[in-house]
Amino acid sequence: MKKEVSDLLRIAEKFATNGEAESVEPHGNGHINDTYLLTSHQPSGEPCRYILQRMNHEVFRDPAGLMENITGVTAFLQKKIAESGGDPARESLSVVPLREGGSYWKEEDGTFWRMYRFVEGADSFDLVERPEDFYESAVAFGHFQKLLEEYPAESLHETIPNFHNTVDRLKNFKKAVEADSMKRAGEVADEIKFVLDREEDCYVLCDMLASGEIPLRVTHNDTKLNNIMLDHKTRKGICVIDLDTVMPGSALYDYGDSIRFGANTGAEDEKDLSKISCDLELFALYTKGFIEGCGGSLTKKEIRLLPMGAKLMTLECGMRFLTDYLEGDHYFKIHRPEHNLDRCRTQFAMVKDMEDKWDQMQEIVEQYL
């Protein structure tokens, strides 16, 4: 479903950009949407940049509901940021509307498109280059959640039902093993066993949310490092992006997913598993930043459960990569044949390392109780 540049420019023209769209090229390393950088020139000659995205409507079944969430959340954030003296145009995503009105464009071929203003003077990272960056991302993700504390959760569409319901993910994983549609289960027997040996863990957060022991909050749910823009000058987390999964969830999801990705000493798709481990210094830095960013809103129970959040988000993500591999790689974008299997293996190696370091992880979080 790849589009020609001429088509992309034609689609871009539907949106209320400044000036005429001039060039468009693929951008970023997201696994879900097709992302392009669009440059236009204003009459003054000044370039102006935008993000043009094809929303993955196989993953997000209700693009209209998704965009309603995003326009609602960004408007809410912009108001809050302005009230506290910040710059709403840089510190929040801004949706560029269609010239004819509306927040997204539906092509005749059934694809869905949207546009954001490009957050200038900032970068997103696929690996932690400097520990301070990881700390700043934690402050920003924590603060993001704090800002959304009063957002009317009931108005949010559930863009992917049961997104971080680990029990439901386990059920789907077992179905994929059972069906074995690609005849791949035999070669990944060790990975399947890894999950089944940890079946009980999958219930921990779901049960606590159901019993009210930990609160349901409005959370981001996809807090990997490349979903935050760090300011070039200040290196602060200036803007949280990729708001497709903002939904009711647990603070432990946001915390855990960041640790899963950013505290790993290797890349998410590293083939050499000896490079994979949970860096405890990064773990401690992120913990400090996230608790600070949340501004006192985390309960003691949540703080105590932070290591469990990290472990479960990592196990869940590995299970999702493995499920996709067993089902024939339909969900996550892959760039080589066993990409999802490689990704699954790094996640499980990270889980194993966290289990070995469990007491130290617990000690790190306990100083905040």
Q: In the complex, which residues of this chain contact ligand GN1 (CB under 6 A)?
A: 30-32, 59, 222, 224, 227, 242, 244-245, 257, 268, 317
The verdict on 119 binding ligand ADP (CB under 6 A) reads yes
| Min separation Cβ 344 and ligand GN1, Å | 11
Nearer to Mg ion, 34 or 302 (CB): 34
Choose the one of ligand ADP, Mg ion, ligand GN1, none that binds residue 118, judging by a C-beta under 5 to 8 angstroms depending on kind.
ligand ADP
Binding partner at 245 among ligand ADP, ligand GN1, Mg ion, none, C-beta below 5 to 8 Å by kind: ligand GN1
Q: Which is nearer to ligand ADP, 21 or 202 (CB)?
A: 21
112 binds ligand ADP (CB under 6 A): no
Of 354, 355, 137, the residue nearest 262 (C-alpha)? 137
Site string for ligand ADP, 244-273 (x = CB under 6 A): x-----------------------------
What tokens appear for 274 in the block?
């000896």
Closest by alpha carbon to 224, among 297, 304, 332?
Answer: 332
Spatial contact of 103 and 54, defined as CB atoms under 8 Å apart: no
Round to the nearest angstrom and report the end-to-end CA distance of the chain.
51
Nearest position to ligand GN1, beta carbon: 31
Contact range with ligand ADP by CB under 6 A, out of 65-73, 117-125, 268-276, 303-311: 117-125
CA distance 307 to 362: 6
- With CB under 5 to 8 Å by kind, the binding choice for 124 among ligand ADP, ligand GN1, Mg ion, none is ligand ADP
Binding partner at 268 among ligand GN1, ligand ADP, Mg ion, none, C-beta below 5 to 8 Å by kind = ligand GN1
- Cβ distance to ligand GN1 smaller for residue 245 or 287: 245
Q: Is 96 in the site for ligand ADP (CB under 6 A)?
A: no
Among 28, 86, 131, 215, binds ligand ADP (CB under 6 A): 28
Report if residue 67 touches ligand ADP, rule: CB under 6 A: no
Question: Is the CB of residue 169 less than 8 Å from the CB of residue 199?
Answer: no
CB of 84 to ligand ADP, least distance (A): 21
With contacts defined by CB under 6 A, name the span among 24-32, 62-70, 263-271, 344-352 that binds ligand ADP.
24-32
Q: Name the nearest CA neighbour of 190 among 6, 344, 61, 13.
A: 344
137 is a site residue for ligand ADP (CB under 6 A): no
User: Which contacts of 9-13 are long-range, i.e. CB under 8 A and separated by 24 or more positions?
Assistant: 11/52, 11/105, 11/107, 11/113, 12/38, 12/40, 12/50, 12/52, 12/115
Q: Does 116 bind ligand ADP (CB under 6 A)?
A: yes
| Residue 102 φ/ψ region, left for φ over 0, alpha for ψ in the -120 to 50 degree band, beta for the rest | left
CA 294, chain centre distance (Å): 18
Select from ligand ADP, Mg ion, ligand GN1, none the partner in contact with residue 119, using the beta carbon and a kind-dependent cut-off of 5 to 8 Å: ligand ADP
Specify the residue, 222 or 316, whose C-beta has the smaller distance to ligand ADP: 222
Least CB distance to ligand ADP at residue 123 (A): 8
- How big is the site for ligand ADP, counted in residues (CB under 6 A)? 19
Q: Which residues bind ligand ADP (CB under 6 A)?
A: 27-28, 30-33, 35, 51, 93, 116, 118-119, 124, 226-227, 229, 241-242, 244
